[in-house]
A and B are shown apart, each in its own frame.
Chain A
Amino acid sequence: MTSIEQEVAAYILQEFLPGEDPSELTPTTPLISAGIIDSIATLKLVNFLENTFAISLAAHETDVDHLDTIERIGKLVEAKRA
């Protein structure tokens, strides 16, 4: 995992998956489409991404196409910071 991915994974484990085996959360684990993070959790995640990486996400970027896996989140953050 890239350092961005690692930071996002650590946040998701701590906030939404207490007690989970960290090795289960891979860069391609479906998050939204498998119900691992619900709509309020998604709002929290967006808030975390905006604050941690000093980026701003538009509404259309907070959907399953952009945020469903840690890999996609990492790409979105990198694109925003570039």
Chain B
Amino acid sequence: MPSAGPLHRLLDEPVEARGGHLAVADGGGDGQLTYAALGALSDRLRDRLVAGGVGRGDRVGIYVRKSCDSVAAIYGILKAGAAYVPVDPTAPASRNAYIHDNCRVKFAVVERRFEAQYREELGKLGAAPALIVIDDVGGGKYLAQALDRLDADAPSPRAETVDSAAEDLAYILYTSGSTGKPKGVMLTHGNAVAFVRWCEQAFEPRSTDVFSSHAPFHFDLSILDLYLPLTRGASLVLVPEETGKEPKALADLIAARRISVWYSAPSTLSLLAQFGDIPGHDFSSLRIVLFAGEVFPIVHLRSLREQLPAPAYFNLYGPTETNVCTYFALPAAIEAERTEPYPIGKVCSNLEGRVVSPDGEDVETGKEGELCIAGPNVMVGYWGLPELTAGAFLPSTDGKRWYKTGDIVTELPSGDLRYVGRRDRMVKRRGYRVELGEIEVCLYRHPDLREAAVVAVLDAEGGVRIKAHLSMRGDKKLSIIALKTFCSQQLPVYMVPDAFAVHAALPKTSTDKIDYQALKALG
């Protein structure tokens, strides 16, 4: 296997060899960067950050919508030796400021539209990272303008790209935390490069490929998008967030941009299959469809496959802590009698897996157990949470670090793993991890609520709906609008409950705990 040099060094070769080739394009407009331009712009940000005192071991935040500008910013931060910490531009500013304060970013690149609220929220936390403010996004030109302005005040001398070590952090991705605060998954250059190398071998990307980037950059599906095409000299088309929700526009984009490799959560592909008018579009360039993040309901997968039979389809599985750790290649046709979702497949060749009982012993083949993963993809830990980190791994008996995924699986006779469910209260929505406990913590901040219990219920098609059961103080009545608005001020919108039910009091078990089973039975 090639050396695990720093992640950003993988960009050097295409910048050298294919400088004029399209690297990144904004799918929503005409903005784009060639490899030469991406290399040069990320170098400029590196120089600015290094001049500002950023170096190995530092963190730099990104609060920018997905764009050529944010891609260049990511590479620039890595080149300066720092880890990047992307946040969800659609999430409340308070949550994003919390994240950047939590991991003590030294600098942040932020868009003008978020600046005032972000500064205010940082101020409440007593945090004051240096900000590089960009006026808008598109084509990298706004990042360039911001750097021009800074250079006009004081030019930053050319700095060397930092050769980060394999164990240096490359990025921290925050996911929902059951205690009510998001937690930062720390991933190193070694983790990311091991994953990219595995992808190269599994999917054999070509320099003529055009990848789509559907996932936002705070979501771990983006790691494949950001580093697989751009280290192989292929092109990356960024799907604007709104287009991703509008199936016809998405279908237009796939056809017009001649996308050849698609990667997203199944929910987007389900929408595309139902409303995207696939037969009315030319998808002949599409050769690989990858999906991950949640179970793909078979009814929509079948419909997609029938409308779009040519590409190879892969079901990828893995939590942020390991990135993709198992995968399954779908058969050429979906069996007519199949009603169950496809398995998550076999453990990737660069990793090892075990299925263990609650006491950490390997279960008999075919029995249910928790999937644990060891190998070069596995995270270092959670930022600032040593106890949570220790609890995320099996007690070490063999010198390996076995990450406990929390996912219950069984091994099928074929050797493929079948996903059964979770051992805790985490659910997936549109591919995002949602800790139901984090929603409860949010609801309990409401002065009129006495009790809150959040459950996940399956809809008819196997999708997840989040339902909050509540009881109120006194005879207050709260509207759905008021409750959803309250939640959305603290949580990303994918965590806002779909439905609310108000009870006089929540049902209790014999030990006077909230009876979640009874609430789930209510549907």
Contacts and interface: CB of A to CB of B under 8 A. Distances in A.
B275 interface: yes
B484 A35 contact: yes
Nearest to B466: A35
Contacts of B28: 60
A35 B481 contact: no
Nearest to A21: B479
Interface in A28-71: 29-30, 32-36, 38-40, 42-43, 59-60, 62-64
Contacts of A25: 481
Interface residues of A, number: 23
A63 B242 CA distance: 6
A29 to B, nearest CB: 6
B246 interface: yes
Contacts of A29: 481, 485
A35 B249 contact: no
A38 B480 contact: no
Contacts, number: 62
Contacts of B245: 39, 42
A17 B480 contact: yes
A43 B28 CA distance: 19
Nearest to B481: A24
A59 B246 contact: yes
Contacts of B249: 59-60, 62
B275 A35 contact: no
Task: Describe B's contact surface by its main secondary structure.
Answer: helix
B488 A39 contact: no
Nearest to B482: A24
Nearest to B430: A39
Nearest to A18: B480
B130 interface: no
Contacts of A21: 479
B493 A20 contact: no
B461 to A, nearest CB: 11
Interface string B271-287: 10001000000000000
B493 A35 contact: yes
B252 interface: yes
A71 to B, nearest CB: 15
A34 B493 CA distance: 6
A29 B497 CA distance: 17
B243 A59 contact: yes
Contacts of A20: 479-481
A25 B484 CA distance: 12
A21 B493 CA distance: 22
B246 A30 contact: no
B496 A35 contact: yes
A34 B480 CA distance: 11
* Residue of B247, B252, B484, B498 ringed by the most chain A CB atoms within 10 A: B484
Interface string B437-462: 00000000000000000000000000
The 9 nearest A-B residue pairs measured at CB: A59-B249, A35-B496, A63-B242, A34-B488, A39-B245, A24-B479, A24-B481, A34-B485, A35-B493
Interface of B: 28, 90, 242-243, 245-249, 252, 271, 275, 479-482, 484-485, 487-488, 493-494, 496-498
Given A30-B485, A34-B493, A42-B245, 8 more contacts: A20-B480, A24-B481, A35-B493, A59-B246, A60-B242, A63-B242, A64-B90, A64-B242
11 contacts: A20-B480, A21-B479, A35-B493, A35-B496, A35-B497, A35-B498, A36-B481, A43-B246, A59-B246, A60-B28, A64-B242
